[in-house]
A and B are shown apart, each in its own frame.
Chain A
Amino acid sequence: MSVPRAAPALDRRTLLSGIARAVALAGVGAVAPSVFTPASAAAMGADEARHLLSRTGFGPTPADIAELQGLDYTAAVERVLGKWRAEPLTAAPSWINLTPPQAREQAERFREERAERAKPKAAQEQAAPPSAGNAPAKPLANANPTQERARELRNWWVEEMLVTDQPFVERMTLFWHNHFTSSLQKVNFTPAIYRQNLLFRRHALGNFATLLRAVAKDPAMLLYLDGAQNKAGQPNENFARELVELFTLGEGHYSEADIKAAARAFTGWGIDRETGAFRAYPALHDKGEKTFFGRTGNFTGDDILSMILEKPGVSEWITGKLWREFVSLKPDDGEIKRLAAIFREARYEMKPLLRALFLTPAFRDPANRGALIKSPIELVVGTVRLLGLPVPEKTRLVRALQAIGQVPFDPPNVKGWPGGEAWITTNTLLMRQQILRRIVEATTVAPMGGPMQMAPAKPGRRADRREQMDGREEVMMEPERTPVEGRSLRSAGNSARLGPTLAALDGATLQRALLPVPPQMPLEEGMTAGEVVARLLLDPGYQLK
């Protein structure tokens, strides 16, 4: 990829960042875009608006794009950065105040019940297998409470991503989740994972140093990387190693001795067994002398963090990671150094760095549009948001995410999801197409009651008949001449009910909103809106952002 030269752009950048500061001071909500718009060069086009939105959110709707495209680009970036409410919209799961003893008791009770049930059941199976239908009809009563909480937690986040009005905060929360990984597979105490997610939200666009210090004392992290096991005399190096290798500096910037020293410094940071909260255990702290990064002293964990944060490498490491997340898979060394300096100058405040990142010529280069592959979450959540589909049951979406390799709260390992091109293999590509195909099918057969718009009703139409039927059950297909496939988005013709997000738009607008690159299979004359959307969703370009 050609690297845009920095020199000519420099003046403009300086100017822009000056404006950005002014915007930040003025307060974003109150600022009319025209204030910054020196009329001529001002308003960005729909393509650039789509680029900014899809890189910083989930699938933007045509309305999202229309809302942004009249703005000056800098103002648009400010708008993306400006919205930040730390509290999620979605109601918290019911169990978030569960204590560790309560969780243990529940798990214990479940194990006992299961053991009890297993005995007669095994005997029953041996004797008379045919009568298995006699069992009580409530399967969820049997569910493992820990697994059930994990399911609810995943659904909770997916729900939040679907409904949020600040997608960039979700994307940053996801970024921190993938950076400071913790997994439900290991952290069995779901409330801790929930609180860790709130922590990421609180600091999503905040201060990296503050976040790092909080993460080091975060119960989920103390469980995930065994910090809670790290005691004087029996140091556990797991957290200390990942702290320097993955969280702050990267390989090659520390020695094994540094890791050993850091591990000793963190001893005594643990979890209160009764409340599940962070607790320092002074008796378990190694008070001896340690040598870290060439300095010797009676260091604590906080000292280690301070010494790490003094290293310029931290700003470069984080900048590089943000670059790969938001700009491209090939960081430009010169640009990374320049941005990292901004990050350090801002004392690890995220907003100045992110602002500078989105204003880089590399980010804005038209050739960069569509040059990243959508993560499974971006693909699935983005598509549901784009189509305005009602999804009452999130478990299905989570399962779709599992099939294509990204379950929230379950990164594959401490390094997080590898991402990039690894998202797409022959298997996951088929899976992705399959999921999209199912969404295409579901779009016209989704249960009523959601925000779907109906075509003007003719008497006796399917949609009318649908309402006469048993309302308690989802009605997937009705007795009609056509089988269900015959009524999918792609072949339902004009009767396809596009949701309000896509209704009444022409093919060119839809294409611009859905694809970052021209379609591999161009749209044809006379296609209905439903066919256009179906075609675009299944186009290779829809995999990109």
Chain B
Amino acid sequence: MLRRDFLQVSAGLSVALATPRALAQTGTPAAKAAQRAAEPGAPRWDRILVLVELKGANDGLNTVIPFADPLYAKLRGPLAIPHDRVVHLDQRVGLHPALKGMLEAWQARDLAVVQGVGYPYPNRSHFRSIEIWDTASASSQTLSEGWIAQAFGGASRPAGRNIDAVVVDTNALPATGGDLRTIVMQDAESFIQQARAMRDGNAAAPSNPALAHVMKVRSEIHTASLGLAERMRGAPAPAHAFPTDPFSHQLALATRILLAKVPVVAIKVALGGFDTHARQLETHERLLGQLGEGLAMFRRNLIAAGLWKDVLVMTYSEFGRRVKPNASAGTDHGTAAPHFMMGGLVKGGLHGVYPSLADLQDGDLKHSVDFRDLYATVTRRWWGLGDTFGRRNPTMVDVIA
């Protein structure tokens, strides 16, 4: 807290701290050196991305609300969140009241809101669009490798690493492919169980050669997950107790992995249920409450453990939702939406441009930030890698110090 206060008060003196965060904003030679360090060639295997998938397509318009625009109340009608309930971020936009838990991070300047994230020729199929996001493809392009796997493609791995990413969810696509070794933690317990069963039974491989091969490959995976389990057994518990909903359960597991110092570059969690085609208000409020409270607790725990600067949280979702509600007091599939980034090295505040409510395309918001530019930013500025996901001149989003 002290350091942050100091930065806010005397940003001009912050060079003395010699942190990359302070330097990146200036044109000094030191800043250039810091920038160079973040360029391809110096991969930061010590930095962890915590990816939060909002499954089902989160309604961005009711998450970060352009309350000052009269079109908002007019277009959203019964689904509009009243002025006085919105948690103001500035004079124009504010958070859904259920996200009040995130205010602490906003005030501490380590919560960034990236507005209007999307891509051209938006696809409105859940499955297809999440694949586009997961693989950082163009709308008409089909890729099979996840974007994190692409980002680390060809990067030489430091010694002593068994796993590169942990997915506490069913969708491992962002971290799947290449030579990235991703463990789906949901299965860790059964992995361990099977490994134990194999040891207890006959040590000999099954006489069926195909089964023996499958079991051998599984045991390689198990070895990695066992190492993980071992590390986690000796690790400290989170200082602050998480709420009890499934999303916080995932975040608690992510926290334990981080506290155990398991060397990974990414952890993925997910919150599902955002496909609010009917009676949206109640569901959305509950989900955003879980998101806000969970992330607030996650942040508090990592700050308490001194790890907040090693972590970058980023939300994503397949698309946003239609501006106008449907006849079931819900919203249908839309396009662009705001996303959150949090972390000790995040440049807090609003980024990107809120899509205009007066300039819709087929009733949908036009994106102002291409999600691949955001990925390219994370890849370059967070991990010090070079992939730009097919974008020839990616516009870096200035969210990471």
Q: Is the pair A473, B272 in contact by a Cβ cutoff of 8 Å?
A: no
Tell me if B170 counts as interface (CB < 8 A to partner A).
yes
B117 to chain A, nearest CB (A): 11
Tell me if A229 counts as interface (CB < 8 A to partner B).
no
* Given A424-B214, A468-B328, A476 and B275 contact (CB-CB distance below 8 Å): yes
Tell me if B306 counts as interface (CB < 8 A to partner A).
no
Q: State A539–B294 Cα separation when bound (angstroms).
A: 33
Chain A residues with Cβ below 8 Å from B270 are 485
Q: State A134–B194 Cα separation when bound (angstroms).
A: 53
* Given A1-B209, A476-B56, A521 and B190 contact (CB-CB distance below 8 Å): yes
B320 to chain A, nearest CB (A): 12
Closest to B142 in A: A399
Q: State A544–B355 Cα separation when bound (angstroms).
A: 51
Please pick, from A396, A438, A483, the residue contacting B246 in the complex, using a CB distance under 8 A.
A483
Q: How large is the interface on A (under 10, 10 to 19, 20 to 34, 35 or more residues)?
A: 35 or more
* Given A478-B275, A478-B277, A517-B208, A133 and B366 contact (CB-CB distance below 8 Å): yes
B7-15, B122-130, B376-384: which one contacts chain A?
B122-130
Please pick, from A370, A434, A479, the residue contacting B276 in the complex, using a CB distance under 8 A.
A479
Q: State A373–B373 Cα separation when bound (angstroms).
A: 41
Q: State A484–B283 Cα separation when bound (angstroms).
A: 13
B324-343 contact mask (Cβ, 8 Å, vs A): 1 or 0: 00101010110110000000
Q: Is the pair A474, B172 in contact by a Cβ cutoff of 8 Å?
A: no
Closest to B116 in A: A130
How many residue pairs at the A-B interface have CB separations less than 8 Å? 200
Q: Is the pair A474, B125 in contact by a Cβ cutoff of 8 Å?
A: yes
B18-26, B92-100, B176-184: which one contacts chain A?
B176-184
Q: Is the pair B207, A367 in contact by a Cβ cutoff of 8 Å?
A: yes
Tell me if B171 counts as interface (CB < 8 A to partner A).
yes
Q: Is the pair A135, B121 in contact by a Cβ cutoff of 8 Å?
A: yes
The residue in A367, A370, A484 that gathers the most chain B C-beta atoms within 10 A of its C-beta is: A484
B128 to chain A, nearest CB (A): 8
In residues 303-351 of chain A, which contact B (Cβ within 8 Å)?
A: 329
Q: State A437–B172 Cα separation when bound (angstroms).
A: 10
Chain A residues with Cβ below 8 Å from B368 are 130-131, 133
Tell me if B46 counts as interface (CB < 8 A to partner A).
no
* Given A143-B140, A431-B176, A477-B273, A130 and B353 contact (CB-CB distance below 8 Å): yes
Chain B residues with Cβ below 8 Å from A143 are 140
Q: Is the pair A426, B332 in contact by a Cβ cutoff of 8 Å?
A: no
Please pick, from A133, A370, A475, the residue contacting B120 in the complex, using a CB distance under 8 A.
A133
Tell me if A465 counts as interface (CB < 8 A to partner B).
yes
Q: Is the pair B170, A441 in contact by a Cβ cutoff of 8 Å?
A: yes
Tell me if B187 counts as interface (CB < 8 A to partner A).
yes
* Given A372-B210, A396-B127, A441-B170, A430 and B182 contact (CB-CB distance below 8 Å): yes
Tell me if A504 counts as interface (CB < 8 A to partner B).
no
B90 to chain A, nearest CB (A): 19
Chain B residues with Cβ below 8 Å from A132 are 119-120, 366-367, 370
In residues 196-225 of chain B, which contact A (Cβ within 8 Å)?
A: 197, 207-211, 213-215, 217-218, 220-221
Q: Is the pair A130, B369 in contact by a Cβ cutoff of 8 Å?
A: yes
Please pick, from A134, A135, A371, the residue contacting B210 in the complex, using a CB distance under 8 A.
A371
Tell me if B107 counts as interface (CB < 8 A to partner A).
no
Chain B contact residues: over half helix, strand or loop, or mixed? loop
Tell me if A520 counts as interface (CB < 8 A to partner B).
yes
B233 to chain A, nearest CB (A): 23
Q: Is the pair A430, B214 in contact by a Cβ cutoff of 8 Å?
A: no
Q: Is the pair B273, A484 in contact by a Cβ cutoff of 8 Å?
A: yes
B50 to chain A, nearest CB (A): 18
Chain A residues with Cβ below 8 Å from B172 are 430, 434
Q: Is the pair A469, B367 in contact by a Cβ cutoff of 8 Å?
A: no
A291-309 contact mask (Cβ, 8 Å, vs B): 1 or 0: 0000000000000000000
Chain A residues with Cβ below 8 Å from B282 are 479
Tell me if B55 counts as interface (CB < 8 A to partner A).
yes
Chain B residues with Cβ below 8 Å from A137 are 121-122, 361-362
B348-375 contact mask (Cβ, 8 Å, vs A): 1 or 0: 0000110100000110011111100100
Q: Is the pair A484, B144 in contact by a Cβ cutoff of 8 Å?
A: no
Q: State A129–B126 Cα separation when bound (angstroms).
A: 26
A533 to chain B, nearest CB (A): 16
Q: State A484–B330 Cα separation when bound (angstroms).
A: 18
B13 to chain A, nearest CB (A): 34
Tell me if A449 counts as interface (CB < 8 A to partner B).
no
Q: State A395–B255 Cα separation when bound (angstroms).
A: 37
Chain B residues with Cβ below 8 Å from A210 are none
* Seed contacts A126-B393, A395-B142, A520-B197; 18 additional CB < 8 Å A-B pairs: A1-B207, A129-B373, A132-B366, A132-B367, A133-B365, A135-B120, A137-B361, A140-B140, A329-B209, A434-B172, A441-B170, A473-B277, A473-B332, A477-B273, A483-B247, A485-B169, A521-B190, A521-B194
Nearest 5 A-B pairs (CB), nearest first? A133-B366, A483-B272, A479-B283, A139-B121, A139-B140
15 A–B contacts, CB within 8 A, in A order: A131-B368, A133-B335, A139-B140, A371-B210, A421-B209, A426-B220, A438-B170, A477-B56, A478-B277, A479-B273, A483-B246, A484-B273, A485-B170, A488-B170, A517-B208
